[in-house]
Amino acid sequence: MKLLVSTTSPYVRKVRVVALEKGLEGRMELVEALPWPEPTSIIALNPLGKIPALVTDEGFTLYDSPVICEYLDTLAPIPRLIPESGVQRWQVLRQQALADGMLDAAVQLLLERRRPPEKQSVSWQDRQISAIRRGVAALVDELPTNATGLDLGQITAAVALDYIAFRFPDLDIGLTGTPLATWHTRIAARPSFAATVPSG
C-alpha cells in the first residue's frame, strides 16, 4: 500500500495511528505529498487535491481519512476499531465525525490567520473557535474516558486535541481540568501517538 502524507496533517496522522494500532504500518509506504501551493502530485490520485489518499495493494485509490480508516480496520481483525454493528458502531462513527469537525474548524482557523491581517475576519475566527469549544464540551460527555480499549472515535478525538494544541497552544478550548484532559494525556503516551507527533 502507498499512503500520500504530510507530516503536519492531522487527517494523515489519524490514518497512521490506525495503521500502527492495527499492525499495518510495515505494509504501507509513506509518500510525501504537499497540498500547497499546488497539489499536482495528489490530483492524480484524489481529484480534490487533498491528503491522505491511499493506494491499495490492488491499485485502488481511497480517500479521505474516514474511508481509509474503515478500510484499514477490515485488513486485520484485531483490534477492531469500528464496531461491526449496533449502537456502539454509530457512537464511534459519531465521535469520529465530531472530532473531524473540530479538525475542520481548526484548519479553517489556521488558514484565516495566515491571511494578511487586513483581510482576516474576526467573526469567522470566532465561529471556528466556538465550534471547537462546543466539540470539546461534547467530547467531555461523549467519550468513555475510563475505557481500557481504543476505537476510531477516541483516536480521532485525541488527534484533534493534539492538533489544536500544536497549532494554537495559547487557545483556551475548555479542556483543562476535565476528565478528558487526563484521558488525553494517557492516550497521547501510546506508542502509535508518540511515533506520529507532528513536526514543522
Domains parsed from the chain with CATH numbers: 2-75 (3.40.30.10), 86-194 (1.20.1050.10)
The band of 34, judged by pLDDT with boundaries at 50, 70 and 90, is confident
Distances (CA, A) of 195 to 48, 71, 144, 166: 28, 21, 24, 15
Task: Say if residue 38's pLDDT is above 70.
Answer: no
Handedness of CA 128, 91, 150, 31 (dihedral sign): negative
Q: pLDDT at position 26, please? A: 92
- Give the max Cα distance, the chain: 52
The amino acid at residue 156 is T
pLDDT recorded at residue 198: 86
Over residues 45-100, the pLDDT tens digits come to 888 888 999 999 999 999 999 999 999 999 988 899 999 999 999 999 999 999 99
How does residue 13 score in pLDDT terms, banded at 50, 70 and 90?
Answer: very high
Q: What is the C-alpha to C-alpha distance for residues 35 and 39, in angstroms, rounded to an integer?
A: 4
Is the Cα torsion angle 51, 106, 126, 133 positive or negative in sign?
Answer: positive
What letter would DSSP give residue 148? S
User: What count of other Cβ atoms lies within 10 Å of the Cβ of residue 128?
Assistant: 20
CB 139 within 8 Å of CB 157: yes
Peptide bond into 198 cis (omega under 30): no
Query: What nine digits make up the cell of 46?
Result: 484524489
Residue 47 sits at φ, ψ, to 5 deg, of: -60, -15
